[in-house]
Amino acid sequence: MANSPAGESVISRVVRLMDAFDRQVPSMSLSELARRASLPLTTAHRLVEELVRHGLIERASDGELRMGLRLWELAARGSRALTLREIALPFMEDVQAAVHQLTTLAVLNSGTVLYVERLSAPDAALDAAHVAQRMPIHATSSGLVLLAYSPAWLQEEVLAGPLEKVTEETITDPPTIRKHLAEIRRRGYAALPGIGVLEWTGIAVPVFGAGGAVAAALNATVRREEANVPLTVPALLTAAHGISRALGAENRSAGSTRP
């Protein structure tokens, strides 16, 4: 596969083009796309034309470019996240009905927390934790739950940093995070206010997959002043247990010691 003069492969340049789209900028002109992808305009034009032919990028009537449905189609055919979402959705709806809060499902991916499903309450005003959005592992309750039940080598890799201070209450001290991880394993959930978005509290529990490994984190996010952890945790644990069983996990409680 041909490389650029700088030694970058075609695939790497295509990924940079696709990565330029996000929730805030879902469509743009060719020149803007080239700028955001840090590619020469001629290179971007040549690659975009090929991607348009294959349906991976679409061109609107006004010339704006956006991700194509063909990309979604290909990703959905064998997506682990899609299977997880389909299994989890009925249980997430039960949580939503019980606690009337923003409910999310997240996984670890490429060193970050990736949200794969979200159910919003009618009055939910939180502009975060959207589907396909990423957050630092240490800056969300979901991330800390996933980390608490992950192998020790992954914990140490994450804690080696750098650990971004997302809000003034984000915990960036590795010894303090280790204490929180131990507490999460002991009680089976995380509920840390303000670490990702200052005005909100995430209450998260683990979901296990086949073999007992942590597969996801199920989370309810509430305003700090309205957080009712004793009411929310049982609903989350019941739903997480149902999702875990559907994923083929053994009958393992969330408060048990990690593998």
Q: Is residue 252 part of a domain?
A: no
Residue 257 is predicted with a pLDDT of 44
Of 41, 58, 74, which residue is a domain's last? Answer: 74
Q: How many CB atoms lie within 10 A of CB 98?
A: 17
Q: Which amino acid type is present at position 16?
A: R
pTM confidence score: 0.80
Would you call 198 helix, strand, or coil by DSSP?
Answer: coil
Residue 110 is predicted with a pLDDT of 87
Residue 51: pLDDT band (50, 70, 90) is very high
Q: How many CB atoms lie within 10 A of CB 199?
A: 12
Which residue has 């979200």 as its token pair? Answer: 118
Q: How many CB atoms lie within 10 A of CB 128?
A: 16
Residue 209 has pLDDT above 50, yes or no: yes
Q: Specify the DSSP element, H or E, that contains 143.
A: helix 141-148
Would you call 16 helix, strand, or coil by DSSP?
Answer: helix
Task: Name the residue among 98, 137, 134, 106 with its Cα closest to residue 243.
Answer: 106
Residue 130 has pLDDT above 70, yes or no: yes
Residue 259: pLDDT band (50, 70, 90) is very low
**CATH code assigned at 28:** 1.10.10.10
Structural domains in the chain (count)? 2
Would you call 22 helix, strand, or coil by DSSP?
Answer: coil
**Residues 50 and 65 sit within 8 Å (Cβ to Cβ):** no
37 and 112 belong to one structural domain:
no
Domain of residue 40: give its range. 10-74
Torsions phi, psi for 28 (to 5 deg): -165, 170
Region of 30 (left: φ > 0; alpha: ψ -120 to 50; beta: rest) is: alpha
159 and 38 belong to one structural domain:
no
Q: Is residue 4 part of a domain?
A: no
